[in-house]
Amino acid sequence: MIKICGIKNFQAAQAAVESGADMIGFVFAESKRKVSPILAKQIVESVPVKVKKVGVFVDESLDTVTEISDFVGLDYIQLHGDETKEFAEVLNRPIIKAWSIQDKKGVEHFPCDFYLIDSPRGKYNGGNGIAFDWTLVKDLPIDNRKLILAGGLNEKNVIEAIVTVKPAIIDVSSGVETNGEKDPLKIKAFVKAAKQGFEKLKESGK
C-alpha cells in the first residue's frame, strides 16, 4: 500500500486519490505541514471511503487525539512522539507507531497495528527527508506485514526500497513536494513507481 502524508489542501488530496494512493496523512503536530482539524475534515469528506485517512500526532493529550480523530473522521492514529503503551491501548482507532531508525527500544512490544520506521529525526519528530540505510530495518524485530517504511523516499529510489525492505506500506511526504508543496506530477510518478516496486516484490514471491 502507498501512503501520501502531509496533505494540506484539496489539490494534494485529489492528486493522491487520482494517482491511486491507498492512504493519506494529515499532520496535527507542529510542522510546516500542520493542518487544522476543520480543513482536514473538509478534505476527508471529499475523499473516497476506500482511501484511508491517517492523523499524525506528537505527544498530545488523550482527549485532544480522541477529539480530533472523531471530528475529522480518521481511520488511523499515527503516534510520532514518545507516547506510552498505556496511551496507545486506550485509543479508539487502529494505531501506527513511528520510530526513527536509530531508536530501536520498545519497537517489538508496542501495541499497534503498524510500525512506521523513519529516518533520523530532524527539526521535527518526523524524518529529515533523507533516506537511511534500509538494510538496518532487517535488524528490527518487526513482522514485515506490519511494517511501514518512510524517510527520504522518492520516485527514483522507492522501487529499490520496496525490494530491499519488503514493507507492507511505503510512506512519502517531502519526496513528492516542490518548494515545500505537494506536486501532483511527483505524486503521480511516485505512486506509479511504488506500484512497480510492489509488483516486483509479488513476482519474486517474497
Residues forming the active site: 5, 118
Long-range contacts of 64-67 (CB under 8 A, 24+ apart): 65/91, 66/91, 66/92
59-94 in b/e form (b: 16+ CB < 10 A) is: ebeeeebbebbeebebbbbbbbeebeeebbeebebe
Distance of alpha carbon 175 from alpha carbon 159, whole angstroms = 14
Does residue 95 contact residue 77 with C-beta atoms inside 8 Å? yes
Residues contacting 86, CB < 8 A, separation 6+: none
User: Which residue do the cell numbers 478534505 mark?
Assistant: 43
Axis crossing angle, helix 184-204 with helix 10-19, rounded to the nearest 10: 30
Q: Indicate if the alpha-carbon torsion angle 27, 29, 30, 36 is positive or negative.
A: positive
- Contacts (Cβ under 8 Å, ≥6 apart) of 138: 165
3-state secondary structure of 92: coil
